[in-house]
């Protein structure tokens, strides 16, 4: 059973599918019920949403904050009661299945043993937990990729908008360095122009957090810069997780001292 907007339609095939109305309370519920002669399981839960969230369209990156409450049990009486309630609800949406539903209701037996399964539920529980953990990992990875893509798109759109508003290179680059710094969450972002033959460049455009001193109008010397040669040779971006532990910096004390690197790091 699922709401129509999930591309889930009422139809008959290898198994019956039921599409309920989006306004139905089931749209906030998530159930899994398994009944056998000596085995039963049910996962019954309901999503709790803020009143305003029900009217809003949920965004992919908001799924991680969704709140669910419910029960997961192997207690047969609970599983049977849940199955009966769902079958009766299905009859309202698919009256043509009345015969099948009546047969299913008659086959439900509440009286097996003391109410618990006669088989060890541990293997199923372990596999279910593993499945859910793997699904959560894939979901989180997808969210991160979507978030990165969104940040890139916002950055491109912002810079494009600035270029359309003004043909002044100074204004465009000032806006670009600000948007880039905020988008990547950097403590400092600088932009300067240079070629592989330049010995130094003047920093003209900078984004920084208030705690850091400004580098604007300061000379950036490439002779002692441990990364400039790497970038010039590879023609690609580089990433340094912690400048304080970077081997290239530690091996070039003149670079570390001449630019007062410790003063420019935000702890």
244 neighbors 265 (Cβ within 8 angstroms):
yes
pLDDT tens digits, 45-67: 888 776 554 444 444 444 556 67
Q: Which of 14, 117, 127, 137 is nearest to 74 (CA)?
A: 117
Domain locations along the chain = 4-117, 120-183, 186-267
- In order, the DSSP letters of 26-51 are GGGEEEEEEE-SS-EEEEEEEEE--G
What was the pLDDT predicted at 214? Answer: 86
Q: Using the structure block, give the residue that is written with the tokens 């992919």.
A: 60
pLDDT tens digits, 20-36: 887 888 878 888 888 88
What was the pLDDT predicted at 8? Answer: 65
Collapsed DSSP state (helix, strand, coil) of residue 63: helix
Whether the per-residue pLDDT at 263 is higher than 50: the answer is no
What was the pLDDT predicted at 112? Answer: 64
pLDDT tens digits, 135-186: 777 877 888 888 878 877 877 887 777 777 777 788 888 888 888 888 777 7
Average pLDDT over residues 231-239: 77
- Token readout for 220 is 């950036």
18 neighbors 4 (Cβ within 8 angstroms):
no
Residue bearing the bigger pLDDT, 61 or 193: 193
Average pLDDT over residues 246-250: 71
């Amino acid at each position: 059973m699922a709401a129509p907007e999930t591309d889930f339609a009422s139809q008959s095939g290898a198994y019956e599918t039921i599409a309920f109305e989006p306004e139905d309370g089931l749209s906030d519920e998530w159930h899994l019920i398994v009944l056998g002669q000596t085995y039963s399981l049910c996962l019954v839960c309901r999503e709790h949403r803020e009143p305003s969230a029900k009217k809003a369209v949920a965004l992919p990156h908001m799924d991680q904050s969704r709140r669910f409450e419910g029960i997961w049990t192997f207690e047969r009486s609970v599983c049977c009661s849940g199955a009966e309630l769902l079958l009766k609800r299905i009859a309202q949406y698919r009256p043509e299945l009345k015969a099948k539903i009546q047969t299913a209701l008659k086959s439900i037996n509440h009286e097996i043993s003391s109410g618990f399964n006669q088989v060890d539920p541990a293997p199923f529980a372990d596999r279910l937990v593993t499945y859910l953990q793997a699904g959560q990992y894939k979901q989180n990875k997808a969210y991160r990729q979507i978030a990165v893509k969104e940040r890139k798109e916002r950055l491109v759109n912002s810079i494009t908008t600035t270029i359309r508003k003004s043909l002044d290179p100074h204004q465009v680059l000032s806006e670009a360095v600000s948007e880039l710094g905020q988008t990547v969450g950097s403590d400092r972002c600088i932009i300067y122009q240079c070629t592989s033959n330049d010995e130094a460049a003047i920093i003209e455009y900078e984004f920084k957090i208030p705690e850091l001193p400004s580098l604007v109008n300061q000379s950036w010397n490439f002779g002692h810069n441990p990364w400039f040669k790497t970038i010039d040779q590879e023609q690609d971006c580089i990433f340094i997780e912690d400048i304080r532990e970077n081997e290239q910096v530690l091996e070039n004390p003149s670079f570390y001292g001449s630019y007062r690197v410790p003063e420019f790091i935000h702890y």
